[in-house]
Chain A
Amino acid sequence: MGTRLDVPTAGRAPGVAAPVIHLLEGPLSAAITRDEVAHLARLARLAVTDAELDVFAGQLDVILGSVARVGEVAADDIPPTSHAVPLENVYRPDELRPGLSQEQALSGAPASEDGRFRVPQILGEEA
């Protein structure tokens, strides 16, 4: 079942029925599970709460069910567009441009030490 959405009226037109649109109807829902959302949140470094997970999982499922409509378009031989304007070969000359001072660079830092950004211990791979 696709997603049917009521388009609200301006609220000042009593008696005018809200039109229903079906532009977002997509294939069957349940595209994404709560566990998947939890995994994606971890990948995206978002420490979401359980309550949020419940809400997001439901909402994302509906949204995904709708946007999956792009799959209905027969586009096998259509080239993808990654850039809206057909520009190519935009370069700058290899010339120095004034940058920031150390003070400016660190001006927004939550913590700094000895001219460097201070961050909590990094658990990741040794570089």
Chain B
Amino acid sequence: MSDLTRLTAADLAAKIHSREVSAVEVAQAHLDRIAAVDGGVHAFLHVASDAALASAALVDDSIAAGTAPASPLAGVPLALKDVFTTADMPTTAGSRILEGWRPPYDATVTARLRAAGVTILGKTNMDEFAMGSSTEYSAYGVTRNPWDPSRVPGGSGGGSAAALAAFEAPLAIGTDTGGSIRQPAAFTGTVGVKPTYGGVSRYGLIACASSLDQGGPCARTVLDAALLHEVIGGHDPLDSTSIDSPVPSVVAAARQGADGDLSGLRVGVVRELGGEGYQPGVQASFDAALRQLEKLGAEVVEVSCPHFEYGLAAYYLILPSEVSSNLARFDAMRYGLRVDEGASAEAVMAATREAGFGPEVKRRIILGTYALSSGYYDAYYGQAQKVRTLISRDFAAAFAQADVLVSPATPTTAFPIGDKVDDPLAMYLNDLATIPTNLAGTAAMSVPSGLSDGLPVGLQIMAPALGEAVMYRVAAAYESTREPLVAPEVSA
């Protein structure tokens, strides 16, 4: 393995910008690494070698010409979740129904990465349309967890997280609808951030549930995630739900946090997120993290969010409802798969959707169709939206008592492939601790908090809307007390 693939994004950028190494060498090292190990990991659905090298060469040319780098991450490689449109690469969202589709446009996140000179290595695997917690619902095969190839890397963004853990890329982009960035980060010992809803543009992000989806940065260190956050974040006039205010200064906050001083900060432990239902090793790791935060000077207090226990139920009504509508457009008329069975447009639509969608997607479409039906709307969708209000109020009350909230990121560590694939409810439980943040539109992240039985555990840090700075500061401080987690070497 080349040493270059072990470096952080910040270190790589420094070396590239000082011309110690070229961006092309860095890109090539990662492409070589992908070629060597991705057969065993299957993090990538598409590797764009030529485009990556060409993009890196442009960065090298610009640096050689004495031009200031386009961004602090110019020349650093990145793995992009296959849910963002890319005009020069296929985009499938992990679904058979979009096999081979080449979008005629770039997502805003894609465009910002390109403008920042970031080298896009390729597109990563995911549960179909971001529905799932294991990547087992990808139409293109499961991604394996570099820590134990018999286990899942989490999902839906398992490909992005596994690429980081397997040193195939120092940076990645994920999307988080109910935990799809944070849960894979926890399962793979990496850092994953779900920004405030509206903090990162959704334009070109293939929708799962519009009111919950949020793109965000994934990395192996808190500082790297912060650097990426500032590249992709900020207002986008093409997204009506994009917040028109500056990106929080997360890089400065991460650097400040690295000093390891959290005195004066209050950290709230959410009583409802932990204990019963959480694996003992996960709970132990969390308790140790709390002691560590206290050592750093933070005051740890307990807070209660009584409606969080209804979060999962509300989420699994709101999400399928939005999914049932968002995925209606996949109908074989304008793009994507067409199964020519039946003489009419209606028959072709139904045959194509049947063949093109996997079972989890179909389940959620049917569930959402039900929840929005006229006779059931008030009892299901309407009531779920009220619960959403109550969860936001719980957060508001908790943030009045604490600067950040903490919990285990997931109830368990990575589970074996095949364990839950036929048991939807068991799969849904993975999102227990992460879902409230999506319902409230607030920010949260997962940072590694050690191992339990040899598998990574994640600490979740939650912040109010646009409160990312304090969240990154706490995360960086906590990170500074620990040795980085390094997954065992994977074989191809």
Interface residues of A (CB under 8 A from B): 3, 5-13, 16, 19-21, 23-24, 26, 32, 36-37, 40-49, 52, 55-56, 59-60, 62-64, 66-73, 75, 78-85, 87, 90, 92, 100, 104-105, 107-111, 117, 119-124
Asked if A84 contacts B441 (CB within 8 A), the reply is yes
Residues of B contacting A16 in the complex (Cβ-Cβ under 8 angstroms)? 279-280
In the complex, what distance in Å separates the CA atom of A120 from the CA atom of B347? 9
Contact A123 B465 (CB under 8 A): no
Q: A60-B370, A67-B313, A81-B439 are in contact. List 5 more A-B contacts (CB 8 A).
A: A44-B369, A45-B331, A66-B425, A81-B392, A107-B104
30 contacts between A and B (CB under 8 A): A7-B279, A8-B420, A10-B452, A19-B277, A19-B278, A20-B277, A21-B429, A23-B309, A44-B369, A46-B353, A52-B359, A56-B363, A56-B366, A60-B366, A69-B313, A70-B384, A73-B386, A75-B386, A80-B388, A83-B241, A85-B198, A87-B241, A92-B237, A104-B104, A108-B102, A108-B104, A109-B335, A110-B338, A121-B343, A123-B344
Complex-state Cα separation, A19 to B279, whole angstroms:
7
Report B194-223 CB contacts with A as 1/0, cut-off 8 Å: 001110000000000001100000000000
Q: Which residues of B contact A (CB under 8 A)?
A: 101-105, 196-198, 211-212, 237, 240-241, 243, 276-281, 307, 309-310, 312-314, 316-317, 324, 328, 331-338, 340, 342-351, 353-354, 357, 359, 362-363, 365-367, 369-370, 373, 379-380, 382-390, 392, 411-416, 419-420, 424-426, 428-429, 432, 438-441, 452-455, 465
- CB-CB < 8 A to B432: which residues of A? 23
List the 4 shortest-distance A-B pairs measured between CB atoms, nearest first. Answer: A84-B441, A108-B335, A80-B385, A21-B277
Residues of B within 8 A of A44 (CB): 324, 328, 353, 365-366, 369
A70 contacts B314, C-beta separation under 8 Å: yes
Q: Which residues of the other chain, A, contact B316 by a CB distance below 8 angstroms?
A: 63, 66-67
Are B412 and A79 in contact, with the CB atoms below 8 A?
Answer: no
Q: Given the complex, which residues of A lie within 8 Å of B420, measured CB to CB?
A: 8
Nearest-CB distance from B136 to chain A (Å)?
A: 14
**Separation in Å of the B42 CB from the closest CB of chain A?**
21
Q: How far is the CA of A119 from the CA of B352 in the complex (A)?
A: 13
Chain A: interface secondary structure?
loop
Which residues of chain B are near A8, meaning CB under 8 Å?
412, 415, 419-420, 426
Contacting residues, chain B, for A3 (C-beta < 8 A): 425
Q: Report chain A residues within 8 Å CB of B333.
A: 110, 117, 119
